[in-house]
Every structure is written in C-alpha cells, then in structure tokens.
Structure 1
Amino acid sequence: MELSALHELIGKELAGELSAAEGEVLHAWLAQATAEERLVYEETKRYWHTPAPTTVTAADTATALQHLLTRIHDAEAEPRVVAFRPVAPAPWWRTRVAATLAALAVAGGAAFWAFQRPTSEAIIPLSFEEKTTTRGASAKVLLADGTAVWLNADSHLWFPKSFRGVQREVYLEGEAFFEVTPNKRQPFVIHLGAEQVRVLGTSFNVKAYQEDETMETAVVTGRVAFIRSGAEDATSADTLYVTPDQRAVYSKSTAALRRETINSQDYATWSRGGFVFQSTSLTEVARTLERHYNVKVQLANERLRHCRLTGRFRDQTLREVVSVLSLTGSFGFELTNDQLLITGPGCEPTSTVPTVGPSL
C-alpha cells in the first residue's frame, strides 16, 4: 500500500464505500498508528464533515494537494520523486479527500502522514530517519536511547530521533546486529514487514532480506520474542521465545516458525568483518558473497544449489574466499571484476561439503 492507497481507503470509509477486506487493511493500520497519527485521522474525519468553500476549484484542489505532497517530500530524510500521471475519472469522493488533505496540510497535519516502501507490509512514520547501506558496505547507528545497531550490507533501518510512547519502535529490511539498551518500561520492537521482534534489553542478530525465503533472529544475550503476523501480543501461540545460542526461523512461504540451536557468536561475526557458513546452501552463500563483496554471483548449473558449505572467513578478499572453497574439490570458479561464476558438477540433495576455511 502506497500513501495514495491509504488516502483512498480513508476516502472510501468516509464515503461509506469501504469493503470488508479494505476495512481490515485500514483497521490494521489504525491498530499500529501512534497517538499523533490517530489524532490526525480523527481530524481528517472532522474536516470531511466540514462544508468545503464554494470558491474552491479543481485547479485549487490540485495545487493544494501538490503543496501537501511537496511538504511530505521535503520532510523525508532522503528525497523521493513523486510522479503524477493522468488517471481515469475518479469517484465523487476523491476530490473531497484531496481538499480534506490540503486543509490538513494548511493546519499543520502533514507531519502525520506515513509512507510505505512498495515491497514492505509495514507503514513507516514519515518522521523516521532512514539509514541505508549499499552492497559491499556496512554501518553502525547509535539510537537515541543508546542502543547500538550494526547494519549489514544492502540493508535499510528506519528509526525516530527520540523514542516516545509505550514502545521503542524501528523498522528493518536486511540484516542488523542489535545491542539494545535495557528498559523494562519501554520494550524495543523491530518491525520486519508484518512480523516483529520484541525485546527489553539484549544483544541479537536479525536477518530479514526481502529476497530470502526466511527471516531469522539469533540471540547472543538475553531473551527475544519473534512474533508472527497476526499475533496480538507476545503471549500468543504465534510468538516464539529464543534465548542465547538459539535462533528463531520463520518461513515466508509456509508461515512455519521454528527454534534451532546455534553458536550465537557466529552471528556477531559479520559486524567484526567476517562471516560464517554452517551447512549453508550454496544459494545462500552466493547471496552473502554478493552483498559482502558487491559482485554478481552465478551458479553454472542447478545441481550446485544442493551443495552446502561450512566455513569461517575474516578480512579476506573474494578471490581468497572462493579459492579456499574450491579446495573441497566440488567447485571451480571464474572471477572477473564484477562477476563470479561458480562451476562444477554440483551435489546430491543431501550432500554436505566438509568444513573449510580458517578459524576466526
């Protein structure tokens, strides 16, 4: 749902044309809205029932709406382009919604409106700042409460300038290692689309890349709750608690949620310049190498996807890493400046390649 889609749902509700399915979407948004957002939502309804000035023309409405969108654009941490294109004749209420939004913008309500990335299920408050890392890069972010976040390559973190309300909330797309400042009165919540991770104060890793089939969180210290989509609180059957040397793994395709035993220190390795593979599929290894070294990785045949690797690496070049991997005898490789091609006969579906690589 984009910003315009949210406006349309509000307009349909006020016009009495909201379907049951659309009502569920709107109510889900309202359930996670902040007090400020709900206040402006109520103001929207009040403006709706206020007679519009008869002197307002369609051109005036379009100009006012353009002004609102410009203010939203200017308020974001990173600029985005707002594109306009001709549309089919709109329902009668759409012009009324535009006038309502324009009135709210004049009244100072533009700071309320949230935006949503096209591929995410979570609505992110407009006031949140965004930190982005590209492939081949990582970053450390210090949040207002003292929480430290190490952001892995090709990741996005949205966070407020200060934490207010009953929860400390951030949004993540990608991978990050968190050291959360303890605060029992204000839980720390990480939104991963429709899912979330909730803690009071602990250290743990969260991996939630959009292209991956799974989301996971691995705990180093403390206790973490992974809350599956649809759960209303942290005590329901849709919540899995994990403690040190455990990780929660959530399947996007099946919605299955499981607990696994792991070496938690392996999941803090990447924040110190290394990475660890533990019986990892070659498909996932390829994705890790792509993100870490900013290179395109391709597998020469489908059987290579069945191969699984175990190895530890730190502060090594891509050529050094793939050279070590090739010592297993199961792989070859061709490396150019911007592409790595992994070759070889591949593996049977249950094959596991022996441990390779130096200790960290």
Structure 2
Amino acid sequence: MDSNSFNPDELAHKWLTDKLTPDEKLRFEQWYADFNDEELLISNSQYTSAEQIRENILSQINFKIDENQTPKVKVYKLWRNLAAAAAVVLAIGVAVLYRAPILNLVDPVKQLTLTTNPGEYRQIYLPDGTHIWLSPATSISYPEKFRDKLRNVSIKGEAYFEVKHDTDHPFVIQSGAVKTVVLGTSFDIQAYAYAKSIDVTVVSGKVGVSANTSTRTAMLTANQRTVYQKATATLVKENYPNAAKFLDRRKGIFDFNGASLAEVIHDLEIQYGIRITLTPGLTSKAFYGRLETTYPISYTLDKLSTVMELRWEKQNGTYLLHP
C-alpha cells in the first residue's frame, strides 16, 4: 500500500472486521497516533472541552428517557445518542489499548545509564519517584519514563532502593542472573560482576527474588535476604537481623561489630576500588568500629591501623597492612 492509496476509513473498517495485514495495521496505528481524539471532537462542535461533550451526551440520554414523546421517535433518538456515546467509548478504548505500543513506535523511550566511580556515592530519583542510593563502581540502566506495565531497571554493583509504591506497575530489577520484583519497599542489592554471590537484603516491605535458572521465587520480608551463589547457580533464603545497617551503608558508613579483618578489607577494596594485602595471621582478627568510606583512603587506613595497632604502606599501587 503506497502513501497515495492510504484510506483511513477503509483501514478502520478492516480493523473492525479483523482483516488488517501487519503492514496495514502499522500504517493505521501510525495514522491514529498523529491526531488527538478530543481535539477532533471539539473542532467539529460548539464545545470547548471533551468533558463538555461527555456531559452533553449524558444529559441528552437522560432527557430522552424522561421526555414524554411517542415511543418510535423516543427510541430512535435515544439509540442515535447511545450510538454516539458508544462511538466515543470505542475511540477511547482503542486509544487506551494501543497507547503504549503506538507511543513507543512514534516516540521511543530513551534508555539512560548512570555509572559511579570508585569512592563515589550518588543519589538519584527515577521518573516514578523511586529513590536510589548508588554505591561506588556501580552502573544502573533505566528508562527516561515508565510507560509499560512493568518498571524495569538493571544494575551492576550495589544500590539501595526505596521503591515508590504502585500496585498496578511492579518494579523489576535485573541484576545479573537474579531478578527482584517489588511493589513498594526498601532493600539493598549487591551484584558486583567480580563477586562470588548476588545478595538481596530487605530492610522493610516485601520482595520476590528469583534466579534465571529456576522458576522458584523466594519471598522476602524485613530482616531477610537471599544469597545467589554464582558457582553453583543456587539461591538461598536466610534471616538477616542486621538489615538496618544498610541505612548507613548506603551513605558510605560502615559499622563493624566484631567482623574479621579480612571482611573489613574486602569492603574497603570494593568501596575504594583498590587492592589491600594483609600480613598472614591478621585475616581472622576481629574489628570493632565505624569507618566512613566517603573520606580519602589514607584517612580510613589511618583510623583502622590505630584501632588494630597496625601500620600501612603503599607499594606498586597496592596497600599493605602489617603489625
């Protein structure tokens, strides 16, 4: 079908009888998207808004029902107005049904990607009002606006989410082999590419977590988490009473209550994007204290060394900790 033979009336008839070819369907949807139904109705009437048209149709229907006329005339006029109302409803229904596909066709949504550097913390708001704290060395991809049934985003790294509640539009996060589905809650996802696991920890609310390799979904509530082991492709659910620590961690504040020095060093390496080596025999030593990774690494290592009675030095880009 060339542009000169394009006939909206003919295509509309084919659409109603389900005889449109794929090419004709595309042409008809493109044509339909180019005009505003309300503007068309208003331009051919004495009304200034679509609401006035709807109110007039309703008042005429009510008037005809109450009007004391002969049955034949009353029924004819009533059905004529009902037909007009049905046409408006049909037009609105078509617009709603095809709204997302048509908009995505004529005005594609841009996909945005934001990446933080090592040592950089950042907060962002998504178009739906969801608040996200991005940890260092983290990348998030999300649409410029949400149009579809699902609010889809993806992350690599670590992020803390406070999802805006919307029952009709679930929020879906893809993080490697793990998918997290939520309506409205707060939780943390750790999904660094080089880490051995992907962790989802819930601070409040309820989320569903599943692995791409399984149809099983683990439902989590506050103070619970799932750990997906990449090597075995297994997803384990467990209690995690200390989930509230992520409220500080999202800001770069780490409270260690007897954590091994190996665990502390691991967190620092991720946050700062550096390599730290411990002298043999130090890895199991327990550390109690608070470290704020928004400060320079030299300040943090000074504080750690003071508490643990250690000293540090830098050699060939690697930081060394020893007694």
How would you bin the TM-score normalised by the shorter chain? Answer: 0.5 to 0.7
The answer to whether the 8 A contact 1:145-1:181 is kept is yes
1:225-304 alignment, distance < 5 Å: 225-232=208-215, 238-254=216-232, 255-277=234-256, 280-301=259-280, 303-304=281-282
Residue by residue, what CA displacement relative to the aligned partner does 1:39-85 show, whole Å, maximum 9, x if unpaired? xxx99xxxxxxxxxxxxxxxxxxxxxxxxxxxxxxxxxxxxxxxxxx
* CA RMSD, Structure 1 to Structure 2 (Å): 3.1
Match of 2:167 among 184, 208, 231: 184
* Cα distance in 2 for residues equivalent to 1:336 and 1:137: 24
For residues 19-42 of structure 1, give each alpha carbon's deviation from its aligned partner in whole angstroms, at most 9, with x where no partner exists: xxxxxxxxxxxxxxxxxxxxxxx9
**Equivalents in 1 of 2:295, 2:116: separation in Å?**
20
Cα deviation, residue 269, structure 1: 1.1
Please say if residues 224 and 237 of structure 2, whose CA atoms lie closer than 8 Å, have aligned partners that are also in contact: no
CA displacement, residues 338-358 of structure 1 (integer Å, 9 cap, x when unaligned): 5421225xxxxxxxxxxxxxx
Map of 1:22 onto structure 2: none
User: CA separation in 2, counterparts of 1:203 and 1:132?
Assistant: 21
Amino acid of the structure 1 residue aligned with 2:223 = D
Moved segments of 4+, more than 6 Å: none
In terms of mean alpha carbon deviation, does 218-227 or 303-312 score higher? 303-312
How far is 1:219 from its partner? 1.4
Aligned length: 218
* Cα distance change, pair 304–251 in 1 and its aligned pair in 2 (3 A): farther
One-letter amino acid of the structure 2 residue matched with residue 209 of structure 1: Y
CA distance in 2, matches of 1:308, 1:155: 28
State the match for 1:119 in structure 2: none
Q: Deviations over 1:193-251 (max 9, x none)?
A: 1211111001111111111111112212111222122334xxxxx32222222222222
The CA deviation at 1:324 is 4.0
The structure that is strand-richer by fraction is 2
How far residue 282 of structure 1 moved from its aligned partner, in angstroms, is: 4.0
Kept in 2, the 8 Å contact 1:134–1:154? The answer is yes
Gaps of 5+ in 2: 1-21, 24-103
Q: Any conservation in 2 of the 1:157–1:171 contact (CA below 8 Å)? A: yes
State how 1:98-247 maps to structure 2 within 5 Å: 127-232=110-215, 238-247=216-225
1:313–1:337 Cα change, 3 Å: farther
Conserved in 1, the CA contact under 8 Å of 2:137 and 2:273?
Answer: no
Q: CA 1:297 to 1:308, structure 2 compared with 1: closer, same or farther past 3 Å?
A: same
Matching residue's letter, 2:267 = T
Deviation at 1:309, TM superposition (A): 4.1
Does the 8 Å contact 1:205/1:268 carry over to 2? no
**Under a length normalisation based on structure 1, what TM-score does the superposition of the two structures give?**
0.53
Q: Deviations over 1:167-198 (max 9, x none)?
A: 11100100001110001111111101121111
Cα distance in 2 between the residues matched to 1:278 and 1:158: 34
* 1:247–1:262 contact (8 Å) kept in structure 2: no
Does the Cα contact within 8 Å between 2:199 and 2:225 map onto a contact in 1?
yes
User: Matches of 1:157 and 1:269 in 2, distance apart?
Assistant: 21
CA spacing shift, 1:327–1:252, aligned 2, 3 Å: same
* Cα distance, 1:149 vs structure 2: 1.0
